Amino acid sequence: MRQIIAFLSKAKRYNKSLTLVIVLLITACSPEPRVLFTVTDTDFSKGYRMHEQQVTIDDMALFHGHLCDGLVVGALAMEQVMKQMYPNEAIDRTNLRVVSAPSPCLTDVAIYLTGGRYQFNTFYVDDNPGGIYIVQRIDDGRTFRVGMKPGVKPSEIDSLGALAVQRKLSPEELDYLKALEDDFTEFLLQSDAVELFDVEALPDFQWQPHLRGDFLKTDVLNK
């Protein structure tokens, strides 16, 4: 890539058309973002909602600390919900609140994509939300729950994960669990998310936030 960039800088002196062709070729060969969201936010600390931007699962991985199957599950689940809440338009991160299952991966996705925060009454955690997330539009109250279809996630990941939380896995077994999760991550990214998740409307949902601070942050137990 460095050689290409150097070549481009020289080519500009002689042939702008050739430079354009090469730039287009590089762009065409660049991988597409694996999961992409278009969102709107306010344009400064006291501003109007007019700042549109795109975020990807790679952005979420930077926020979370790593890419993992839980992060991808959360992102794809949100993707399916947002198709119902904001079809064919940008996601308004000033107009959402969310209930999340307690996984650190899922909660990070929920906060990042919806802008929800507990102190603003737009986010809370429930250990039994009946799925992965419950997401509500503040303006019209439309609410949806999303969960993974039965049988999608390999049961071995959950069983080994439970042992890892208890710190009962050897280093070799932890490596094996990571390999399983990495394989599941690739499966998720290569699959049609419509086939992986169920989304249902909750017309009678009541927002009843509660604060708990005793959930286990499972992704740092074996550090």
Residue-wise pLDDT tens digits, 44-77: 999 999 999 999 999 999 999 999 999 999 999 9
User: Are 80 and 199 contacting, i.e. CB atoms less than 8 angstroms apart?
Assistant: yes
In angstroms, rounded to a whole number, what is the distance separating the alpha carbons of residues 129 and 132? 7
Q: Please return the burial class of 197, using the count of CB atoms within 10 Å of its CB with bins 0-12, 13-18 and 19+.
A: buried
Structure tokens that stand for 135 in this block: 């997401």
Specify the CATH number of the domain 36-149+197-208. Answer: 3.30.1330.20
pLDDT in tens, 95-137: 999 999 999 999 999 999 999 999 999 999 999 899 999 999 9
Q: Is the pTM of this model over 0.75?
A: yes
